[in-house]
Structure 1
Amino acid sequence: MALSDSVRATPRTPERSRPASQRIGSNGSPTPRKRRPDDTKLAVLFLIPAVIGLVVFYFWPLVRGIALSFTSWDLLSPEEFVGIANYQRMLADPIFWNAARVTVYYVILNIGIQTVVALAIAVLMQRLTQSVLVRGILLAPYLVSNVVAALVFLWILDYQLGIGNQVLEWMHLDRIGFFTTENWVIPTIALVNVWRHMGYTALLIFAGLQAIPANFYEAARVDGASELRMFRQITLPLLRPILGLVLIISVIGSFQVFDTVSVTTNGGPVDSSRLLQVYIYQKGFAEFDFGYASTLSVAMLVILVIVTFFQYRITRAGQTDLN
């Protein structure tokens, strides 16, 4: 009697609450565990086109370009291995060093102005309006191709007929050869690209601002902090990872500028706008010196890797203060 009472007193575990391996079927045998479907084959199937494109259009040209940098090849005759002769020639080439100097000057102007203007626009959007229409207007210049933007500004800033110089004359100022004067050509090209890219950069920064909790600003206002102090002590520190990412993307894009220069100045006047990309194109497709052009490309790749590495370390783009 006591045994039966103890059996009745012991609660039975519901069938659904048991692990799958302990469930009992209607015939008394354990119910087999349901296995999750394996999506590995499906994932590989979707990855194959991207991997093929990456290998064909990125890795293979990279390996091929590095190999060509050790050769002399004019596209018509067979490749001739020359070792490091192209690199020795590059180090002694005054045009290469001038192109590198001009490129660095352009990158500093472009990135400095573009980042400051984009940051100001993003903060104003965050504080004053978050309208989708405003964001669309800001993005509109980025949808215009570089060639079209360059041609439009070439006409606007033309020395004789451009409306820009006519406005300067109306203001009793001297006309400026924006694309024909050595001192003005690089700042002009930089400002053209700033106009085209600042809206896109501002939207990237604006997206980063959305991730900053609003209670940080509310607490700072309660403590009597001004807008400038909140910007310095809250916005900038918490926006650092996004700013680091934006700077890395912008610097890489600025080093690769070609179409704006090709359409407007083609490297002139007197090599004052001959950037590295323009010099590489001229050596490869104008002079058919593909070996040396590949050497210049490898040099620019090394420069970009070094600059990106130091940017990533200095800005600590992989870390965030939002905990």
Structure 2
Amino acid sequence: MLFLSPALLGFLVFFAWPAVRGLYLSFTDYNLLSEPTWVGLENYAAIVDDPVFWNSMGVTLQYVAINIVVQTLVALLLAVLLHRFTRSMLIRGVVMLPYLIANVVVALVWYWLADYNLGLINSGLDAIGITRIGFFGDEQYAMTTIALVNVWRHLGYTTLLIFAGLQAIPHDVYEAAAVDGAGEWRVFRSITLPLLRPVLAFVLVVTVVGSFQIFDTIAVTTQGGPVDSTNAITYYIYDRAFARFDFGYASALSVILMFILAVIALVQMRAFRAGQSDLER
């Protein structure tokens, strides 16, 4: 308990108390400059009729879908390639490198690279005769661009999680499949994927929850624009709280997001039977 106490203290101060305080503020009208005024369910009722909230949820779901699908599939492919063809620590370090760079730095670098007038990407497109693209300035491409930037940044971390899961699969299982004459695709579909299920469940829970909390990339590139096309739910919460000083309403939005993420995590854990492994059968 003595060794656990620093972590427990940090949890109580930085997680538990703010969560309880935020839940209370969600039932109040609070602007930081005066005492909270109890308003009951008024904030939640207003959210139901708030078109910006529903737009922000749609934008967030779009980001999550692109980010999770691309990141998981590419990370799975990279992990399998690392597991089959190399055990080099140098290559693992290179794969992991983008994750070690701060999100703000990554966002600024890609924002410069994809600039419509001066960016290297658009200069390259122009050189080969392709029309320049407003990656961050066009509402058609902005959220997709942000999602792919974050895929690049988090890909190494997800890859190494899956790679660790691959290393935990007993080699004799693959040897038995080879003796039975199973091909590469059959081995991957019937052995690798089922035995990776608990790891993939963990990866999906972590990445989905993290994707719903996208903020810093949006804050330093598009600020929710153009035309609210990147106004994700976390950026909308920030805007209501720190730009409009409507902390009661922002707290209600945060509580709703917390329950959404809790339900999604629970559904994922049960659907993937994350606590069970086929190796135990």
Interval containing the TM-score (normalised by the shorter chain): over 0.9
Q: Deviation per CA, 1:173-227, whole angstroms, max 9, x where unpaired?
A: 1110000111101110000000000111000000000011111111211222111
1:258 to 215, 232, 254: 215
Aligned to 2:183: 226
2:22 to 65, 70, 73: 65
CA distance in 2, matches of 1:199, 1:46: 32
Aligned to 2:228: 271
2:170 to 194, 213, 220: 213
2:149 to 192, 195, 199: 192
By how many angstroms is 1:169 displaced? 1.2
Aligned to 1:139: 96
User: Aligned partner of 1:208: which letter?
Assistant: G
User: Aligned partner of 2:71: which letter?
Assistant: Q
Instruction: Say whether residues 1:287 and 2:244 are aligned partners.
Output: yes
Secondary structure of the structure 1 residue equivalent to 2:4: helix
1:241 to 174, 188, 198: 198
Aligned to 1:55: 12
Secondary structure of the structure 1 residue equivalent to 2:276: coil
By how many angstroms is 1:253 displaced? 0.5
Aligned to 1:169: 126
By how many angstroms is 1:167 displaced? 1.1
By how many angstroms is 1:122 displaced? 0.3
CA distance in 2, matches of 1:139, 1:169: 32
User: Aligned partner of 2:134: which letter?
Assistant: G
Q: Deviation per CA, 1:232-259, whole angstroms, max 9, x where unpaired?
A: 0110000000000000000111011100
Instruction: Say whether residues 1:91 and 2:26 are aligned partners.
Output: no
By how many angstroms is 1:78 displaced? 1.6
By how many angstroms is 1:130 displaced? 1.1
CA distance in 2, matches of 1:134, 1:221: 28
Greater radius of gyration (CA): 1
CA distance in 2, matches of 1:170, 1:299: 48
Aligned residues: 280
Aligned to 1:115: 72
CA distance in 1, matches of 2:209, 2:196: 20
User: Aligned partner of 2:41: which letter?
Assistant: I
Aligned to 2:32: 75
CA distance in 1, matches of 2:42, 2:103: 36
Q: Deviation per CA, 1:108-163, whole angstroms, max 9, x where unpaired?
A: 11011000000000000010001111111111000000000000000000000000
Q: What is the TM-score with the length of structure 2 in the denominator?
A: 0.99
CA distance in 2, matches of 1:101, 1:318: 31
Aligned to 1:40: none
RCO higher in structure (CA 8 A, sep ≥6): 2
Q: Deviation per CA, 1:41-85, whole angstroms, max 9, x where unpaired?
A: xxx211211111110011000000000000001111221000000
1:306 to 250, 263, 266: 263
Gapped regions of structure 1 (runs ≥ 5): 1-43
CA distance in 2, matches of 1:107, 1:264: 18
Secondary structure of the structure 2 residue equivalent to 1:224: coil
1:103 to 54, 60, 68: 60
CA distance in 2, matches of 1:277, 1:149: 19
User: Aligned partner of 2:130: which letter?
Assistant: L
Q: What is the TM-score with the length of structure 1 in the denominator?
A: 0.86
CA root-mean-square deviation: 0.7
Secondary structure of the structure 2 residue equivalent to 1:183: coil
